[in-house]
Amino acid sequence: MQKGKTFIISGPSGVGKSTVLKALLKKRSNLYFSISATTREPRPGEVDGVHYRYMDVDTFRERIANEEFLEYAEYVGNFYGTPKQYVDEAMEVGQDVILDIEIQGALQICDKRPGTPRIFIAPPSWAELERRLTERGTDSPEKVQKRLLRAKVEFQTAHTYDYFVINDTVETAVAELDAILTAEHCKPSDRMEIISGR
């Protein structure tokens, strides 16, 4: 059995990453969404162990010390981190893994696991991003402004990613992500067993 691949998805808060990833997970059965640890409070409707593994700062720091994270970062006042164990277990059984992480975490993965494909998801416009963040109704106007500021900084790194997907409609964004994942499995390096066996 071939090992799965890990894919990094980054993009501004509110661009629609969770929405498009939910649809992508329905489309591709062999996909595992890495559930991050976070110190931020759950939003209404978010479930522990489904959206995030929620924990206090002391517990998070303990896990950093135990080297349990593949990467971690501070984002707008909270910690977020990717538990290493689940990612590796999923890849071992042949599943592709999606990491929905911000840019500092993406850089750490680039260092530790070079060649990990990175996909940036962008909004069709800044006005639309602000509308989505506001209409989601989960953040105070002050937090929306902080996230928008951070989004503009993050956008400046978009050109360093391997792929750039605009989430205009969910359907087109999902179709592009689906195509990218498929294409990444068509690299000769992924098919050396077949190539060298003929």
Residues that bind ligand 5GP (CB under 6 A): 13, 36, 40, 71-73, 75, 80-82, 100-102, 104-105
Instruction: Between 5 and 17, name the residue whose CB sits nearer to ligand ADP.
Output: 17
Question: Does 105 participate in binding ligand ADP (rule CB under 6 A)?
Answer: no
Distance CA 72, CA 60 (A): 10
- Binding to ligand ADP (CB under 6 A) within 120-139 occurs at 132, 135-136
Question: Does 170 participate in binding ligand ADP (rule CB under 6 A)?
Answer: yes
Least Å distance, CB 194 to ligand 5GP, is: 35
| DSSP codes joined into one string, 54-86 | E--HHHHHHHHHTT-EEEEEEETTEEEEEEHHH
The residue number whose beta carbon is nearest to ligand 5GP equals: 105
Site residue total, ligand ADP (CB under 6 A): 13
Of 127, 86, 80, 133, give the one whose Cα is nearest residue 106: 80
Measure CA 78 to chain center: 16
Distances (CA, A) of 17 to 123, 128, 189: 10, 14, 29
- Binding to ligand ADP (CB under 6 A) within 6-65 occurs at 13-19
Packed helices 170-184 and 17-27: angle between N→C axes, nearest 10 degrees = 60
Rule CB under 6 A: which residues touch ligand ADP? 13-19, 132, 135-136, 167, 169-170
